Amino acid sequence: MKKFILTTAISAIAAIGFTGAAFAGAGDSPTLQKIAERGYVSIGHRETSVPFSYIGDAEEPIGYSIDLCHNIVDAIKAELGNDNLTVKYVPVTGQTLGVLLIGTAYGSTLGVTTFALYLLAGIAGAPIFANNGFGIDRVIGATGGYLIGMLVATYVVGQLARLRLDQKFLTALPSMLIGTVITFSFGLVWLQQYTGKDWAWTINAGLTPFIVGEVLKIAIAGTSLPIIWRLVNRKNA
């Protein structure tokens, strides 16, 4: 019974990731066994959702949701009898959603230009990458492939929008899915080559923690855009 309550609590917190902080990958089954095998717990966190989940002065995630997650981690340690479990923080950002919206709203040319300027600003020192990061190291480092993938995805989504595929529900959702797949394809291949790890590790580290969030972003973009277009067309009729 205790294990059931603990697993349920983890799964419940996983649903909070969109508004605060959550355990990434908590829906895996059996959850506790996977945590025991990996030796760590991933906590998804927002960077600016004060007071629930945000980056503190020590450059570490803090807030009410983070405190709640740490209480659950303590319970997991007690259940597994392992005080050496570590915590890995996974930033939950709106970057990929922004890519989808920029591509559809600006088109491929202006969209790519806008995202390229975003990359240049980050390289120049503006703290606009994940975890308020900046610098060329973020672009050529382990996660640089995601940024390159976003640039390519912006162009592709812009081309799909040019065909008006973002104006209908049946085509908008697949279009947003294509953009997301492009981003993660570049990111995962880059991550695997950079780290030299096997693909099981790469997928577990570079994809699994983000699946729930990405599904939500695809749903938001894929449903909101057709609605907006309907309102625009109705107004212009």
Burial class (CB in 10 A: 0-12, 13-18, 19+), 35: buried
Same domain, 152 and 72: no
Q: Are residues 68 and 136 in the same domain?
A: no
Name residue, tokens 């392992």.
Answer: 82
Quick one: 86 and 148 in the same domain?
A: no
Domain C-terminal end among 34, 67, 91: 91
pLDDT higher at 125 or 14: 125
Q: For position 173, what pLDDT does the model report?
A: 95
In the chain, the number of structural domains is 2
192 and 107 in a common domain: yes
- Do 73 and 179 have their domain in common? no
Give, for 230, the enclosing helix (H) or strand (E).
helix 211-236
CATH code of the domain in which 202 resides: 1.10.1760.20
CA–CA distance, 80 with 103 (Å, rounded to integer):
46
Measured distance CA(81)–CA(53) in Å, rounded? 28
pLDDT for residue 133 is more than 50: yes
pLDDT value, residue 22: 42
Rounded to the nearest 10 degrees, the angle between the axes of helix 95-124 and helix 144-162 is 120
| pLDDT tens per residue across span 154-207 | 999 999 999 999 999 999 999 999 999 999 999 999 999 999 999 999 998 899
C-beta of residue 166 within 8 angstroms of C-beta of residue 160: yes
Check pLDDT > 90 for residue 27. Answer: no
CB 72 within 8 A of CB 40: no
Question: What per-residue confidence (pLDDT) applies to 182?
Answer: 97
H or E segment at 31?
helix 31-38
Which two structure tokens, joined as six digits, stand for 123? 């390289």
State yes or no: pLDDT of 12 exceeds 50: no
Q: Do 42 and 88 contact (CB within 8 A), yes or no? A: yes
Rg (CA), the chain: 19
What is the number of helices (H) and of strands (E) in the chain? Answer: 9, 6
CATH (domain of 81): 3.40.190.10
pTM above threshold 0.85: no
Final residue in a domain of this structure, among 91, 110, 130? 91
- CA-based angle 133:46:189, to the nearest 5? 60
- Look up the domain containing 49 and give its range: 2-91
81 and 175 fall within a common domain: no
Whether the per-residue pLDDT at 10 is higher than 80: the answer is no
pLDDT at 211 over 50: yes
The pLDDT of residue 184 is 97
Q: Which of 64, 91, 118 is the last residue of a domain?
A: 91
Same domain, 49 and 76: yes
In the prediction, which pLDDT does 109 show?
A: 95
Q: Both 110 and 186 in a single domain? A: yes
Residues 154 and 217 in one domain: yes
Q: What pLDDT score does 237 carry?
A: 65
Question: Is 70 in the same domain as 185?
Answer: no
Same domain (yes/no): 133, 27: no
Within this chain, do residues 151 and 183 fall inside the same structural domain, yes or no?
A: yes
